[in-house]
């Protein structure tokens, strides 16, 4: 009888130790999210425009990770589709024209002398780039504006214009070079190089 109590007690203690170890490991090594979703979301332009059919870039990134087409983001354009195809190791496909067309980067500009302060544009802005108060003039914080165009339609006096951003020497960059394959002389092994 004593042996049975010792065996049972040993098993109970062992079960508590294993349970505690598993509980600690589940907290210590918890994964906060799907890392591929985060990588996809980093490639998307973060305009939160909804042209892809999703309410923002993060939900679209989750849909892409679950197999949705990579070609539904007009603001990301061809470069975005190419980067997504590289990341996911899938074929590059043309932009789905039913979602819209790729435009140059734009920002909203409020003609302040016509603004009536209705706050409808503030409510529509997904990134809080419009500031102002009720019955007072509003303005757009240009560096925060993603050019999503969602503030234009709700404006009752049509005082918001979408203006293309000019490329200046401050924001221009060289295009990313294409990898080229070169054969090494001594062993005839193809090597990827960047020129």
Q: Examine the pLDDT at 119 and tell me if it is beyond 90.
A: yes
Domain of 68, CATH number, reads 1.10.15.40
124 and 75 in one domain?
Answer: no
Q: How far apart are CA 123 and CA 156, in angstroms?
A: 13
Residue 11 phi, psi (nearest 5) = -65, -40
Mean pLDDT of 137-141: 92
Residue with tokens 């939900």: 59
119 and 91 in one domain?
Answer: no
172-183 pLDDT, tens digit each: 666 655 555 444
Confidence (pTM): 0.60
Is residue 142 situated within a structural domain?
A: yes
Nearest Cα to Cα of residue 53 among 72, 74, 25, 31 = 72
**Which pLDDT score, from 0 to 100, does residue 195 have?**
43
Nearest Cα to Cα of residue 62 among 81, 36, 96 = 36
132 and 78 in one domain?
Answer: no
Range of the structural domain that residue 152 is part of:
104-195
Identify the sign of the CA torsion 107, 111, 115, 117. Answer: positive
Q: Examine the pLDDT at 60 and tell me if it is beyond 90.
A: yes
Q: Examine the pLDDT at 3 and tell me if it is beyond 60.
A: yes
Cα of first residue to Cα of last residue in the chain, in angstroms, is 80
**Which pLDDT score, from 0 to 100, does residue 14 have?**
94
Q: How far apart are CA 44 and CA 190, in angstroms?
A: 32
195 and 134 in one domain?
Answer: yes
Query: In this structure, how many other beta carbons lie within 10 angstroms of the beta carbon of residue 124?
Result: 17
Q: Measured in whole angstroms, how far is the alpha carbon of residue 13 from the centre of its chain? A: 48
Q: Which tokens sit at 90?
A: 């899938």
Confidence of residue 85 (pLDDT cuts 50, 70, 90): very high
Instruction: Give whole-number Cα distances, 179 to 37, 81, 194, 195, in Å.
Output: 26, 17, 5, 8
CB 52 within 8 A of CB 73: yes
12-24 pLDDT, tens digit each: 999 999 999 998 8
**Which pLDDT score, from 0 to 100, does residue 173 have?**
63
Query: Which of 99, 125, 142 represents a domain boundary (last residue)?
Result: 99
Q: Which tokens sit at 154?
A: 């709700």
Measured at the CA of 176, the angle between CA 171 and CA 181, to 5 degrees, comes to 170
160 or 192, which is more confident: 160
194 and 108 in one domain?
Answer: yes
What sections of the chain are H helices per DSSP? 2-28, 35-43, 57-65, 77-88, 120-124
């Amino acid at each position: 009888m004593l042996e049975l109590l010792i065996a049972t007690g040993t098993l109970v203690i062992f079960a508590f130790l294993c349970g505690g170890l598993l509980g600690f490991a589940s907290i210590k090594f918890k994964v906060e999210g799907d890392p591929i979703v985060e990588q996809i979301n980093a490639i998307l332009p973060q305009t939160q425009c909804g042209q892809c059919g999703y309410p923002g870039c993060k939900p679209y990134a989750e849909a892409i990770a679950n197999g949705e087409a990579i070609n539904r983001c007009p603001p990301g354009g061809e470069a975005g589709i190419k980067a997504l195809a590289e990341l996911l190791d899938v074929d590059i496909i043309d932009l789905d024209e039913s979602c819209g067309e790729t435009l140059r980067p734009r920002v909203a500009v409020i003609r302040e002398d016509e603004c009536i302060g209705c706050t409808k544009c503030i409510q529509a802005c997904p990134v809080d780039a419009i500031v102002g108060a009720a019955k007072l003039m509003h303005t757009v914080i240009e560096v925060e504006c993603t050019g999503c165009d969602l503030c234009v339609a709700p404006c009752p006096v049509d005082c918001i214009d979408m203006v293309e951003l000019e490329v200046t020497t401050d924001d221009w960059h060289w295009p990313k070079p294409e990898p080229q394959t070169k054969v090494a002389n001594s062993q005839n092994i193809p090597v990827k190089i960047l020129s």
